[in-house]
Amino acid sequence: MGVKRCAYGTCNSDSRFYHKPHMADVFFITFPKPTSKPEMCDRWIRACSRGDDFGRHKITQDTYVCSKHFVDGHGPTGEHPDPIPATARGVELRIFNTKKSRPPPKGRVSLSPEKKKSRSQLQVLNVDIDKENEITEGSEKQDTNVDNEGITSIQLLLFLHRFLQSKAERLTLWKGEETTENAKNKDDHHPRGLSTFTAFLLTLVRLRRGLDVDHLSDLFGISSSTVSRYFRTYIEFISRELSFVVKWPIRLQVQAHLPKAFRYFKKTIAIIDCTEFFVQKPSLPSSQRVTWSQYKHHNTFKCLVAISPTGAFTYISPLWSSSVSDRRIVKESGFLDNLNYGDDIMADRGFLIRDLLALRGCTLNIPPFAHGKQLSKAAVKKTRRIAHARIHVERAIGRLKNFKFLQGIFPLKSKKLINQSVQVCAQLCNFDKPLVK
Q: In the chain, what is the greatest distance between 2 CA atoms, to the nearest angstrom?
A: 76
Q: Are 241 and 160 in contact (CB under 8 A)?
A: no
**Helix/strand/coil percent split, the chain, to 5:** 45, 10, 45
Buried b (16+ CB within 10 A) or exposed e, 228-237: bbbbbbbbbb
Q: CA-CA distance, 328 to 320, in Å (whole number)?
A: 10
Contact yes or no for 222/291 (Cβ under 8 A): no
All domains of the chain in start order, with CATH: 15-97 (no CATH), 113-241 (no CATH), 249-429 (3.30.420)
Please give the chain's pLDDT, 437 residues, in tens. Answer: 578 888 888 888 888 887 787 788 888 889 998 888 888 888 888 888 887 778 888 898 889 999 888 887 778 887 788 888 876 655 445 555 554 444 445 444 444 444 444 344 334 333 333 444 444 444 444 433 333 336 357 888 899 999 999 999 988 888 775 443 444 444 445 544 578 999 999 999 999 999 999 999 999 989 999 999 999 999 999 999 999 999 999 989 898 889 988 999 999 999 999 999 999 999 888 889 999 998 888 999 999 999 999 999 999 999 999 999 999 999 999 999 999 999 999 999 889 999 999 999 999 999 888 777 787 888 888 889 998 999 999 999 999 999 999 999 999 888 999 999 999 999 999 999 889 88
- Closest to 414 measured CA to CA, from 190, 231, 199, 216: 231
Q: Note if the pTM is more than 0.75.
A: no
